[in-house]
Every structure is written in C-alpha cells, then in structure tokens.
Chains A and B, each alone.
Chain A
Amino acid sequence: MSIVFQKPKFLTDAPTHYCPGCSHGIVHRLVAEALEAVGAEGHVVGVAPVGCAVFAYNYFNCDMQEAAHGRAPAVATGIKYTNPDNIVFAYQGDGDLASIGLAEIVHAAARGVNITVIFINNAIYGMTGGQMAPTTLLGQKATTCIYGRDAMLNGNPIKVSEMLATLDGPSYVERVSVADVPNIKKAKKAIEKAFRNQAEGKGFSFVEVLCACPTNWHMTPLQAVEYVKGDMTKIFPLGVFKEV
C-alpha cells in the first residue's frame, strides 16, 4: 500500500483556528497542492489578508507577507516586481477584496500583473462577527442587516468575477465552489491552472471560490455547503469568465 492522499508539503503542521466545516481549510490545501504541482518550492511568496485568513502566514509553508485590509493585490504587485521569477499569490476574503480592496484588485487586474489571486467568497464577514459582505445575498441575514439584506437599504451583491472579466488585463478568471467533492476537484483544477498561468508568464489569474461559513450563517457544516450549492450558486454562477 502506498499513500495516495496526504497533507501537502506547502502547508505547515500548525492546526488551524478555522471553525469546523469552514471552507478555508479546503482552499488552503488546494493552493498548497497547486504550488507543489507547479514546482514553486524555493521561489514563492504569499500575501495574507485581514479576515479569518489573517493567520494564513502560519499555515502556508512559504514566505508570507501580511497586508493591510484590502491591499493584498498592491502588496503582491510590489513583491512580484521585486523578484519577478517568484510565484506570488494573494489570498483574500470578500471584505478584503470586494469591499475595501476593490480599487486594488481592479487595478492589479487591469495592470495584468503576473500574480495569482484566490478570492474566498463566503458572503459574510467572518472574523469580525458576521456583518454583511459585498457578496451577501439579498434576503440573507447578517449583523448589519438583521432583517435580511434589502436592495434599497443595503445595496445589491457584487459579482467580482464577472466584473474583472470585462477588463483587458486578466488572462484567466473562473468561479468555482468547494461545496462537495466533485466541485472541490474542479476547484483544484482551476486553482492549479491559475498558478500554472503565472509560472508560464501568462499574466493576472483569478479564481473566486464559493465557500461556506457555518458559524456566521448559523448553520451546521452540512447545511452550509447545501447553501453554497443552492442559493449561492444561483446568484454567483460557476464557470470560466475569461480565458486568454
């Protein structure tokens, strides 16, 4: 017998602080598997966000920089232009990327800087206790829209992948989910492609991952992944939005 599945080497041994059933752990592993697949060892730098994944620098087994809230794409740009041969990635949540960091991600994408951005969309602000996110669905409850998100009072959710795909800068934009095993396998392929693109010099690559937040959605992990598969995927359809 030989090992067919184990923890990848680009993840440290540190147990994570994420809640039971949180999708962060799955996506961390997919990123680590992708880094191994493209042979990134010895020349990779990641940028951690402000959000539940703020401690990502403890989990990814490579050089990491912590960025101010929303600024990860800018920080990644600085890192990439300093050592262009390095694989550089930014890992961000929906507050980080789609709220305060909207200018940074749009300009990094338009600039076409050759980095990989992984966008964790769980439609809520996890770390700060469950406030509304730019991707919170209409009708979804959060601590700053306790009666459910209302278009008049709280605006509409933002579809980042569709938006970035309108720009000439990106080389690859795809939305995936990690709600079940078939989806996780597709997400794995997309994330690996986003890193391979960078290794091959193809330019800005972006993968949006629909994720579960059982704690702040007030659901069990199993209920939460059903919400991703159902309601979330209806508003945020999966698929490739741009591929050069």
Chain B
Amino acid sequence: MAEKKLMKGNEAIAEAAIRGGCRFYAGYPITPQNEIPEYMSWRLNEVGGHFVQAESEIAAINMVYGSAGAGGRAMTSSSSPGISLKQEGISYICGAELPCVIVNMVRSGPGLGGIQPAQCDYFQAVKGGGHGDYRMLVYAPNSVQECVNLMYDAYDKAEKYRLPVMMLGDGMLGQIMEAVELPPMKDPKTFPKKPWATTGEGIGKTRRIINSLYIVPDELEAMNKKLQKVYDEMAANETMVEEYKLDDAEIVLTAYGTVGRIVKSSVDLLREKGIKAGLIRPITVYPFPKDAFKRVGEMPCVKEIVAVELSTGQYIEDVKLYTECRKPVKFYGRSGGNVMSPEDVVDFVLKEVK
C-alpha cells in the first residue's frame, strides 16, 4: 500500500532505505547531505534501528563494515570529500564481500570545492576510487521517486551479489522536494539468511570470518576471479538504462542523474525545432549500459553523440569507449557547481553540432 508524501530528496532516501530494511546508519555531517543523518537520527530509533553520528567519515564506513559483517543492513552517506575518505573502507568492504548501501550527494570539487551540484565523482564511483580490483553497483537516480524506488531494493541487490550499492546523487537531488510514493516497510523476517555473517554463534569449524587479507597469491588471485564473475553476473542482470526518442535520432544526447532529466527537456525542445534528438540515460552507471551504446554506434541515422555532464569530462570517456569510437562524441559540461539549463544544451547543439 503506497503512501504519497512531499519530501526532500535526502529525507526520502533515508526513509526508503529504512523501508528497504536499513537498521544501522553511521555518518558525519557534510553539506549537502546533512538531512540524511539528521533524519536517520530520530527515525531509526522508531523502527528499532541504531544511528551513530561517527567521529569522521572513515569511522562511519568502518562501522558499516562492522554492521554488514555481522549481518546487518547498514548504510552510510556523505558528499564527495567524505566519500574520498571512505575509499579504503569501501575497498575492504568489497574485499570482504559485504553488502551495504553508500550514498554520495556529489558536490563540486576538487578539494574542499563548493557545495553546489556536480558529477565530478564519476571516476571515483565506477573506476575504483579505492585501491584494488573491485566494483560496486552504482545507481544514478534522476528524481526523488527514482531514488526511493532504487533504494527500496538496494539491500536485496547488495545481498544477492555481496557488494556495496552506491547511490550516486548530487546536491540538487538531495535538496529538491518532490511528491513521492513510499513503498511499504519490508519485513525483516523475510530477509535472506546470511550464513557467512559474524552473528557470534560460530565455534571451531562453524566460525565465520570476515576478512580481506589473502596473503597467498594464488588464493588472492582466485578471490579476484570470483569477484569478477560476480561483476559479470551483475552486468548481465542489473544494467538499467532509459532510452528516449532514440529510434530515429540523428543527435544522441546522453547524461545521467539530474542532468539526464535536464537533457530530456532539451531533447523535446530540439524536436520542436525539427532536430531529431534522442536521449540515452544510464540508470546504472556501473554496470554501464554497454549494449545501448553499442547499438547507437551501429545505427546509421545517428550522426553525432553529445555527452552532457556536470564535470570536465569523466562520463564521456565511457561513452566513447562503448560506442567503440564509431560516432563522433562531443562534450558539453559545466563545473564548479554551475548547472546547465535545458536551453543551454539546446544552444550548444545548435551551435556546435548541426
């Protein structure tokens, strides 16, 4: 039974996580995601969960490692500089094959940067960020409702593949207020058992050990191969993409997150001007929607692709890679916290592409 409410992005994400089963949250204040720990601080108690305002983002991710290792549905959130701090912990979580949820409300960088929206953490989210060969399931929602929908099942996915699910948002998504339909609270009794978790009962051969240290090279190589198989399975099953007015498109615009939403309006504006524009909007940025881009690379009507992002050009590299350089790819981006309008994108296309 769905409930409809007007909610701020950050708060909706927190509520959806709780309805999806989150019962432990550790985080630290950083703009623009403060509403997430603030909401969790009172809401988790109401459902028998536990909230900790950690001393730092590093402590928080390690608390999540602990909770997840013990079988809990744990979550942390932060923004860019804080996510940088979490990288070691994320690598450990992946090496130990633990499920959890991490939210990044991206702000402009580098360094202390700004507090306005950006998409300059793409590399950090999908190409590693931390050390070692690991991946996460990375969602890039474009609306508060999409945040809620993806967050609601995030733990199910995280536990199926035993890895972190990252919600790659931005300052705009965290702060806007939209009407959302909230799904019903999941019943923890229905959650799958975790035979690997340190619930405290193990002894002798039944002990559970959560660890990422594999000092024997052959063992670590086998571990890495195992992880790669999981990522391949994830790529086969979890890739999500939105294709809009693509069938006869001559100019393909591509963007993710809130920029995907902005660019959808640009597509409509261009169509009104008689230009056959279309949109590819990845909903998972990892696994990357490779097939969608491969197809676009093979479509004879497509003349040019324009990657639009709030960065100086990160996502565009994967766009070029997966279209296998068969079509020219142009870049339109803003950074520093500036956000383009649908008209800005239209102007760019009219000037640079046609």
Contact = CB atoms under 8 A, between A and B. Distances in A.
Within 8 Å by CB, do A and B touch in the complex?
yes
B37 interface: yes
A129 B55 contact: no
A117 interface: no
A109 to B, nearest CB: 17
A131 B35 CA distance: 10
B81 A146 contact: no
Nearest to B57: A100
B29 interface: yes
A134 B29 CA distance: 12
Contact of A131 (B42, B53, B58, B112): B53
Contacts, number: 50
Contact of B34 (A54, A128, A145): A128
A52 B127 CA distance: 34
A134 B55 contact: yes
Interface in B19-40: 28-31, 34, 37-38
B112 A154 contact: no
A83 interface: no
A129 B37 CA distance: 12
Given A128-B30, A131-B38, A144 B112 contact: no
Interface string A147-162: 1000001100000000
Given A100-B28, A100-B55, A134-B55, A129 B34 contact: yes
Contact of B112 (A68, A129, A147): A68
B53 A100 contact: no
B38 to A, nearest CB: 5
A127 B41 CA distance: 19
B29 A145 contact: no
A99 B55 contact: yes
Given A144-B37, A154-B53, A128 B29 contact: yes
A193 B53 CA distance: 35
B29 A102 contact: no
A60 interface: no
Interface residues of A, number: 24
Contacts of A146: 41-42
A199 interface: no
B56 A125 contact: no
A91 to B, nearest CB: 16
Contacts of A66: 112
A202 to B, nearest CB: 30
A5 to B, nearest CB: 35
Contacts of B53: 131-132, 144, 154
B107 to A, nearest CB: 12
Interface string A107-130: 000000000000000000101110
A131 B55 contact: no
B81 A68 contact: yes
Given A125-B29, A143-B34, A144-B41, 13 more contacts: A68-B112, A100-B55, A100-B58, A128-B29, A128-B34, A129-B34, A131-B34, A131-B37, A131-B53, A143-B38, A144-B53, A153-B45, A153-B51
